Chain A
């Protein structure tokens, strides 16, 4: 069986060598044809992938990324954070990526404004990884557990409000006006 097969192959190879010019033309044609057909899906995938990456790179940050928002009480934070992190990681498992959290408080009125003519407000925020995206001009990053609590503000705001490191101010919660106020000290100015 094997000897018959080997003989057949030997005959085929000898025939091919004898007609090598025509077979070379056939080989080139086959190679070009298969390459052409194979290049179709390769090209379509490559150009589409480059286009989508370019689109994402050029898109507005809100379009190219995703923001999940919720209004929650401090007691719900741990459970909600767990759910959001798990589901977002699952949805983006194809690409991977990072999740950055930001919290925003209710509005607080800045000091030295009569109650019925309040126009200047502020909010408290916390950011994940803030120190990786800003540079402190002066002071130190706020630490928890201090009384009065510490905050950091942009240097442009410090200049506008006339605040410096170590200053203290009292802010009134707009939602609970007259009932809730906070006293804080400025720990630093940055960005």
Chain B
């Protein structure tokens, strides 16, 4: 007996069953001969030769998907160089479509990951700026002392950069390895474990480069507040006594530009529906503006909140000052006097909450999208596949598609003397057979969906 599932047989009906029925002829066999005999005696004129290529799929890497697809697209042309059009070599494979779909999926995955990564990077960057600000603030006196003894801004900056190097270089080296460890947790946690898809994250050169760029960004974030602190030498008393109610971003009008960018990004996202766009050459790519649009929107929302904070705090101050309660009045007065000091923590909270809400909405949308796509591709919630036909019968099968409620129907399917009934009278299933039934073996598992009849 042969195993029909063995790829070696290429699902060939004659090779696996010994018989192949045509409309006029029935072929039995095959009669297997030695290769030498085949070419000497069997095929005096011509014969059909098949070369079946079984790639080792575990050797495939993501970076090679595109190259392999291009090679396969060119393969048939290369095989037929110099051959007559009446005697061409044919290539039959679904690999090209699978690899093309994989490239598209990779792009979609990367864009999805990028959307969330940018937002979280913004959050992390801002948290780091706050930390660096705290550090610079606590060292303000020390910095001023250094400046008064002749240290320049560049020297203060150099010390800050050296300190940053102490923190960022180990992080850049360790981060990719730590990321693979954390990602492996997805193999046991949802949602990948739910679909039994195990991933094998490996550290790549790209991950080191990206970690290096991120570490560089962190280094700059650490150094900027120190530089600002060094340049404020002489204005310390003024800075500590009365802070400005407007930050650097607001003073430069960057917040307005940010809001405009976010609105443009939102409009573009609505127009294209996804951050993946097609170039005039027909190639798909990730649009940087569309990928950054949610993060821009998030930051713009935070900036709007910051803009409104002084106004809200002044209103709160005027309201609480009329009351007899001291604590609210003092609190509102303090916030109205130094809104920027509280705005930093508020913005961090706003960003974190915004990203949390976005992530939940994004995950729900993604899950619904996957479910819809699976439903669309499957076409039926229940599918029955009889065992492979033997003898002269073709295999048969049926599928069940719930469509409308069919309250009085108990009989669901009748074929070759067998029928299927639902246990609940009001929950019915009807099946359609698309080939003449031999002896269908119908086995159902899982819940029976409420529904109806479809006939093909």
| 8 pairs of A and B residues whose beta carbons are closest in the complex | A63-B94, A33-B124, A39-B179, A144-B36, A66-B93, A34-B175, A125-B30, A38-B211
- With both beta carbons as reference points, the residue of chain A lying nearest to B34 in the complex is identified as A144
Query: Which residues of A are interface residues toward B (Cβ below 8 A)?
Result: 8-9, 11-13, 15-16, 19, 22-23, 25-27, 29-57, 59-74, 77, 80-81, 83-85, 87-88, 90-107, 110, 118-127, 129-130, 133-134, 141-146, 149-154, 156-157, 160-161, 175-176, 180, 182, 184, 191
Task: Evaluate contact between A39 and B94: CB separation under 8 angstroms.
Answer: no
- Interface stretch, picked from B6-14, B325-333, B414-422, B437-445, is B6-14
Q: Is the pair B211, A37 in contact by a Cβ cutoff of 8 Å?
A: yes
Instruction: Give how many A-B residue pairs fall within 8 Å (CB-CB).
Output: 463
On whether the beta carbons of A142 and B167 are closer than 8 Å, the reply is no
Contact assessment for B53 and A105 in the assembled complex, using a CB-CB cutoff below 8 Å:
no
18 new A-B contacts at CB < 8 Å, known A45-B106, A48-B105, A65-B7: A11-B159, A12-B166, A15-B159, A23-B135, A30-B218, A35-B182, A37-B211, A41-B113, A46-B199, A47-B199, A62-B11, A68-B52, A68-B89, A74-B40, A87-B78, A122-B27, A153-B29, A153-B31
- A161 proximity list for chain B (CB < 8 A): 28
A95-B37 in contact (CB<8A): no
Expressed in whole angstroms, the Cα–Cα distance for A180 and B22 within the complex equals: 24
Q: Using CB atoms, name the residue of chain A closest to B6.
A: A133
B18 touches A156 (CB 8 A): yes
Are B120 and A36 touching (Cβ within 8 A)? yes
Q: Which residues of B contact A153 (CB under 8 A)?
A: 18, 29-32
Instruction: Count chain B residues whose beta carbon lies closer than 8 angstroms to a beta carbon of A.
Output: 135
Q: Of the 9-residue stretches B68-76, B274-282, B375-383, B401-409, which lies at the interface with chain A?
A: B68-76
Residue among A41, A57, A73, A80 making CB contact with B57, cutoff 8 Å: A57
B263 to chain A, nearest CB (A): 26
Closest residue of A by beta carbon distance from B121:
A37
Q: Which one of B8, B49, B89 has the highest number of Cβ atoms from chain A below 10 Å of its Cβ?
A: B49
Specify the chain B residue showing the minimal Cβ separation from A94.
B64
**A95, B110: Cβ atoms closer than 8 Å:** no
B188 contacts A by Cβ under 8 Å:
no
Chain A residues closer than 8 Å to B270, beta-carbon distance: none
Pick from A41, A50, A94, A101: contact of B197, CB below 8 A.
Answer: A50
